[in-house]
């Protein structure tokens, strides 16, 4: 009897164990199929693929509905319905991504067409400017045409650069990874967008055209400051997009070389602007007949001015007071304080083409020069004070004379009365 009871108990135990294992397998099977669909959502390459996954979710629902109570208990804090709902929501969100990609593709194609038109227009404007500049003699009409073409080119370059930046910003947005996207997806999407917009070529054209603009146009300090700011903005943008492009085209050697070429072009653009700035400042001295030796950077700038001032100091005894005064005040007041300090120095300092220490050195050298010639030259403030005093004396004499005339007139009136 005891033996029979033991066998019955063992049979019940193993039966429950088998049922428990069966329930566990059902739960694990549901979880595995759910995870599989989640992964397929992430790597889906088309809307049709996502629609197929919706059908898979429905099939999963039908298959496991009989086990709903078991799954509700086993999936806590989720349950059967919420697990399937998460899959459905993920599919719909992924569909939104494909719609966004399609919209961006349309936008990128439109931007590419605009950029192509502006590239052609810019090339034509640059050619016209070169032709006019090459003419030996330039009348007022030619000069006016040059000014108008330069203005058009500047505006057109700005429009084209903004369009290219829009494409770059769109591409960078792809790298702000969403949880449902993988690195591979981002690279594929970005590669297609880059190729569709002809991005690498247009980045090259952006820099090349701006280099030509700097070379063929005569710019004011304000123009120089503006284009220097544009080049700095491009450098910041390139530091963001350059590594991304290298990542996108890591398996395409010819494209990698083109990307590196953009880096070289950007350095050339920066150097060309800096060179034009220094040439313009050199020109300020030449136009005033001040023979400062040419300079190409901040250190040379400070050194050449120091050399000029030292040379002038050695000639103090051999020059007339007028000659010493003319050269000093031309350099100090007209060139340094009147032109370079207010217009060029802010550009040099803002772009680290000159340091505060170098600027202070120049100021100190000019002050020392002034002290050396003070004993020979009457400072301007003395002329100013003397002028005020002279005006005061003349005014005093005038009013006294007028007062005396008034007194005489009154006496004559009394006598007549």
What is the per-residue pLDDT across 150-159, written as a single tens digit (0 to 9) for each? 777 777 777 7
CB 148 within 8 A of CB 92: no
Query: Alpha helix locations (H) across 288-332?
Result: 298-314, 321-329
Token reading at 114: 């605009």
Distances (CA, A) of 161 to 112, 172, 208: 12, 16, 12
What is the C-alpha to C-alpha distance for residues 88 and 41, in angstroms, rounded to an integer? 10
DSSP summary character for residue 250: T
What digits encode the pLDDT tens for the residues 215-271? 877 788 998 898 899 999 999 988 888 887 777 776 666 677 888 888 999 999 999
Domain boundaries, the chain: 116-174+196-281, 289-374
Reply yes or no on whether the pLDDT at 115 is more than 70.
no
User: What's the pLDDT score for residue 316?
Assistant: 82
pLDDT of residue 342: 94
Give the pair of three-digit tokens for residue 147.
Answer: 């000014």
**Alpha-carbon torsion 351, 353, 358, 362, what sign?**
negative
Report the C-alpha dihedral over residues 308, 221, 344, 208, rounded to 10 degrees.
Answer: -90
CA distance 268 to 296: 15
Give the list of residues 6+ apart from residue 119 with CB closer than 8 angstroms, or none: 160, 202, 205, 209
Question: Is the pTM above the cut of 0.95?
Answer: no
Longest pairwise C-alpha distance within the chain: 170
406: exposed, middle or buried (Cβ count in 10 Å: 0-12, 13-18, 19+): exposed
Topology of domain 116-174+196-281, CATH: Methane Monooxygenase Hydroxylase; Chain G, domain 1 (1.20.58)
Both tokens of 380, joined, read 């301007």
């Amino acid at each position: 009897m005891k033996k029979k009871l033991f066998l019955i108990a063992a049979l019940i135990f193993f039966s429950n164990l088998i049922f428990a294992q069966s329930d566990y397998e059902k739960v694990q099977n549901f979880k595995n199929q759910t995870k599989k669909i989640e992964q397929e959502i992430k790597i889906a390459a088309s809307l049709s693929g996502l629609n197929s996954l919706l059908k898979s979710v429905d099939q999963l629902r039908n298959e496991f509905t009989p086990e709903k109570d078991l799954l509700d208990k086993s999936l806590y804090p989720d349950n059967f319905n919420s697990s399937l709902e998460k899959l459905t929501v993920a599919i719909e969100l992924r569909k939104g991504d494909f719609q966004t990609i399609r919209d961006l593709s349309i936008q990128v194609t439109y931007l590419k067409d605009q950029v192509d038109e502006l590239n052609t227009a810019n090339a034509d404007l640059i050619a016209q400017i070169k032709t006019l500049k090459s003419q030996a003699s330039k009348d007022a009409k030619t000069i006016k045409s040059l000014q108008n073409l330069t203005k058009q080119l500047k505006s057109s370059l700005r429009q084209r650069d903004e369009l290219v930046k829009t494409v770059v910003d769109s591409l960078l947005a792809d790298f702000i990874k969403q949880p449902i996207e993988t690195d591979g997806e981002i690279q594929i999407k970005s590669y297609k967008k880059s190729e569709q917009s002809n991005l690498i070529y247009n980045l090259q054209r952006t820099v090349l055209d701006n280099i030509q603009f700097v070379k063929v146009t005569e710019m004011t300090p304000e123009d120089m400051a503006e284009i220097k700011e544009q080049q700095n903005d491009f450098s910041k943008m390139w530091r963001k997009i350059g590594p991304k492009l290298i990542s996108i085209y890591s398996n395409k050697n010819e494209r990698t070389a083109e990307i590196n070429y953009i880096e070289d072009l950007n350095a050339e653009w920066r150097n060309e602007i800096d060179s034009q700035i220094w040439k313009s400042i050199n020109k300020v001295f030449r136009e005033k007949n001040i023979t400062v030796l040419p300079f190409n950077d901040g250190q040379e700038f400070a050194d050449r001015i120091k050399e000029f001032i030292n040379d002038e100091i050695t000639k103090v005894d051999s020059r007339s007071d007028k000659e010493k005064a003319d050269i000093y005040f031309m350099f100090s007041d007209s060139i340094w304080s009147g032109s370079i300090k207010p217009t060029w120095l802010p550009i040099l300092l803002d772009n680290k083409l000159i340091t505060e220490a170098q600027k202070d050195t120049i100021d100190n050298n000019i002050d020392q020069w002034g002290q050396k010639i003070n004993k020979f030259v009457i400072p301007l403030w003395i002329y100013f004070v003397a002028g005020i005093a002279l005006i005061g004396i003349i005014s005093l004499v005038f009013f006294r004379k007028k007062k005396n005339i008034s007194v005489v007139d009154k006496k004559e009136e009394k006598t007549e009365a």
